[in-house]
């Protein structure tokens, strides 16, 4: 039976079970997720928080993590600045990054969400205001959200992944996980019907032409 785990990754935790660094070992998923045989379906930056999805099914892992499937990911982003709705238009149209243009995202200003306290707290500049936005993307580039907000002059201060597809981190405190059932839309699909190959009919050999004498 397929296992599917939703985990609220705390700040400063690697999104993997081991750390190859021997001099300064960093905190990993191991102390939090004790289920054997599950692996992350996608990564979440060390300095980001929120939802990670883990499973023991390789095909399901690929369906969730593969950017080609364009599964939506919803982020709550605290940014430095005080933008208007119009200032978010570039995010909705696509932002030019060093590795190419992003797909159009959904972006809107939101009230400060009710979240857990971050440890350590976010450092603010008293002279600069901050706002929260909800950003929904369908890609998975390295540090994409941070690069997108920076590209329009709104540096990210705090980044929380709230949803991945139909899954939400709601109700989970940092470091907690819960096991859920695989939704019907993510269940393995019936293999497509493949028409059996038929052998092409053989052409009858042509009768030899009579030789001219």
Residues 6+ apart with CB under 8 A from 169: 6, 8, 50, 51, 160, 161, 162, 163
Catalytic, 45? Answer yes
Identify whether the C-beta of residue 67 lies closer than 8 Å to the C-beta of residue 43: no
Identify whether the C-beta of residue 104 lies closer than 8 Å to the C-beta of residue 93: yes
Residues 6+ apart with CB under 8 A from 154: 79, 80, 81, 83, 87
Catalytic residue among 12, 19, 45, 130: 45
Show which residues are catalytic.
45
């Amino acid at each position: 039976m397929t296992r599917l785990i939703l985990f609220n990754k705390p700040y400063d935790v690697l999104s993997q079970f081991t750390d190859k660094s021997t001099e300064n070992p960093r905190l990993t998923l191991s102390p939090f997720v004790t289920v054997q045989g599950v692996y992350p379906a996608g990564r979440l930056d060390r300095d980001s928080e929120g939802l990670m999805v883990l499973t023991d099914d390789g095909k399901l892992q690929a369906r969730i993590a593969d950017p080609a499937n364009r599964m939506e990911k919803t982020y709550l982003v605290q940014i430095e600045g005080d933008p208007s709705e119009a200032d978010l238009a570039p995010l909705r149209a696509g932002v030019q990054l060093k590795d190419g243009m992003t797909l159009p995202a959904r972006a809107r200003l939101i009230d400060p969400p009710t979240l857990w306290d971050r440890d350590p707290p976010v450092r603010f500049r008293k002279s600069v205001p901050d706002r929260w936005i909800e950003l929904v993307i369908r890609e998975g580039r390295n540090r994409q959200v941070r690069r997108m907000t920076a590209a329009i002059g709104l540096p990210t201060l705090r980044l929380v992944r709230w949803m991945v597809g139909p899954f939400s981190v709601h109700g989970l405190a940092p470091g907690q996980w819960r096991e859920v059932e695989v939704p019907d839309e993510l269940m393995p699909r019936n293999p497509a019907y493949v028409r059996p190959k038929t052998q092409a009919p053989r052409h009858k050999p042509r009768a030899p032409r009579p030789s001219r004498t």
